[in-house]
Amino acid sequence: IKLTPNMPTDVSFAVQNINNPYFLLNYISAHLEIPLAEKQKLLEVNDFTKRATKVLAILSKEVQMQEVKMQIQKKVSTDLDKQQRDYFLTQQLKTIQEELGGNPTEQAVLELRDKARTKHWSKEIEEVFNKELVKLERMHSSSPDYSVQLNYLNFMIELPWNQYTKDNFDLHKAKEILDADHYGLEKVKERIIEYLAVLKLKGDMKSPILCLVGPPGVGKTSLGKSIAKAIGRNYIRMALGGLNDESEIRGHRKTYIGAMPGRILKSINKAKSSNPVFVLDEIDKVAGMTVNGDPSSAMLEVLDPEQNTAFHDNYLDVEYDLSRVMFLATANTLNTVQPALIDRMEVINISGYIFEEKMEIAKRHLIPKQIKEHGLKKSQITISDEVLSKVINEYTRESGVRQLEKMIAKLVRSRAVELAKEEKYSKTIKVESLQKILGLPIADHNMHLEKDTVGVVTGLAWTQVGGEILFIEASTSKGKGTLTLTGNLGDVMKESATLAYEYLKAHANLLGIDPARFEETNLHIHVPEGATPKDGPSAGVTMFTAMVSIFTNRKVNSNFAMTGEITLRGKVTAVGGIKEKILAAKRSKITDIILSEENRRDIEDITKDYLEGLT
């Protein structure tokens, strides 16, 4: 009776005052909340004990049902009480915040609206921003999506939409800045001045997308800063080495947990203008197709002048104009760069520096920089031309000046130690003290052959760090006419050797060689430095010369170096890397170089300083 809410109050009183068990049983049966059919069945049971048992079973079931109902009601009541409490506290907090100056959501929305009024974006972007702002207003500040939406809107409004720095159109001043910061690199400087000249005349044009290709340490990356300084733009650099995720370029969709914009737009945001000088460093180190997409293909949209007016970042999800950005990519080689990417860039090859250029760079830039970085004054140390010349020739072997800078830093540190110890020291660094400071010479550029030798010919090779000279050695022994190749040679180089040998056998009579000797003589071709892999067709003519020398027993002039691919018809064809190879020959004191006639165009494109002393 207590558990049943709809039971009349007089029922409890009546039950307590009925003494007759039969009457009590019938009274309880009449007030049970069961269907009439069930009550009829109870009346049909004449046996008192059986009827009482059935009534007790029904009452037990009713008690259990009422208890369950009470538990549910109690739980619902508790949940409602908590909701009412939270609502009450939220309303109180809202009232307190309004008294103190508004709630965080309203403040964030007001700040975003104020910033939006100063933006120079298009109507389409403004509509997207307002739409996203309305979404933010409808969100509760404790919602997980609130911070995601707020971060998105903050990034969107911080981007420099249509904000451009004013270019410096003083061409003479721009040239002076470029010349002061970098010695040489005339092609790059000329291209920048051309761009400024056209921009000055036209007033508006898309920025060029340049790709500087050359060995390490020639100033490709630092040139970006000089260009930005010369034309009065902001500078930003993005390192691409080891990049293997496409989302690093395009960003993630903001629906993902921890989503971020791509590094392109993050860098633009950091630059605070939409027309910075943007250096894409080491573009040849970008990975190809991976499980995370193809980052090199994602760069196609960035570096295509026809597409980057509407660059799409997955996080921002609206188009952004990159056409005014001056992209400057750097690479050591184009072999690993996607051909479609090369096609979109204006490639400028930067060769290594000759001895005279390294001397000037060291005197103008490297020595003053290291003196300043090590806390010395110019009056406290002097590095003579003789010392500098010995350091360049004997302690460095590079196309750039990075190793040279390290050696100069070591010389300056030796004086810094003596100054710090307050010891007596000589202001001028002497040639005799170089071995004590720098150790034994690590490079021998006078490595050309001291005397003419049979079967040994000097060749010229190109590597990623510049040009190198290499020796092709040939020897013969009694045998069955086999050709053996050693020296860690690649497939192309092996094919060149086989081709040269076949041509030699086919034209033995012209060279005064008895054809029968090939049947009874084994030929061994070796290229020293076996630990270094070597490949390419440019050693074809060198191998052929070594073979002719060993079979005719005629010496080869040690002052001669050669490079060129040989065909089955005996024609020597053009090869690449001519400037780097010429530099390698000059470093090794070689005076004569044999090239293909087809390479004459490369020679004419090289400045006379590089060719001085060569024939």
DSSP H helices, 6-101, are 9-17, 21-30, 36-43, 48-100
Pairing of β 565-566 and β 346-349: unpaired
Catalytic residue, chosen from 226, 538, 549, 588, is 538
Q: What are the CA-CA distances from residue 286 to residues 40, 108, 290, 334 (Å)?
A: 89, 40, 11, 12
Dihedral (C-alpha) 332, 334, 340, 343: value to the nearest 10 degrees?
90
The two three-digit tokens of residue 394, written as one number:
């004997």
User: What residues contact 441, with CB distance under 8 A and at least 6 apart?
Assistant: 394, 395, 435
Q: Is 279 helix (H, G, I), strand (E, B) or coil?
A: strand
Q: How many CB atoms lie within 10 A of CB 587?
A: 25
Distance, CA of 317 to CA of 294 (rounded, Å): 20
Q: What b-and-e string marks burial along 464-485, b requiring 16 or more CB atoms within 10 Å of the CB?
A: ebbbbbbbbbbeeeeeeeebeb
Active site residue 414: no
Classify 499 in phi/psi space as left (phi over 0), alpha (psi -120 to 50) or beta: alpha
Give the H/E segment covering residue 485: strand 483-486
The two three-digit tokens of residue 184, written as one number:
């040489």
Distance, CA of 610 to CA of 597 (rounded, Å): 19
- Nearest of 469, 457, 333 to residue 397 by alpha carbon: 469
Catalytic residue, chosen from 119, 581, 586, 588, is 581
CA count, 13 A, side-chain hemisphere, 108: 20
Sequential DSSP letters for 507-563: TTGGGT--TTHHHHEEEEEE-S-TTS-B--STTHHHHHHHHHHHHHT-EE-TTEEE-
**Which amino acid makes up residue 397?**
R
DSSP label at 468?
Answer: E
Active site residue 581: yes
Beta carbons of 547 and 446 less than 8 angstroms apart: no
Distance, CA of 301 to CA of 319 (rounded, Å): 12
User: Which of the residues are catalytic?
Assistant: 538, 581
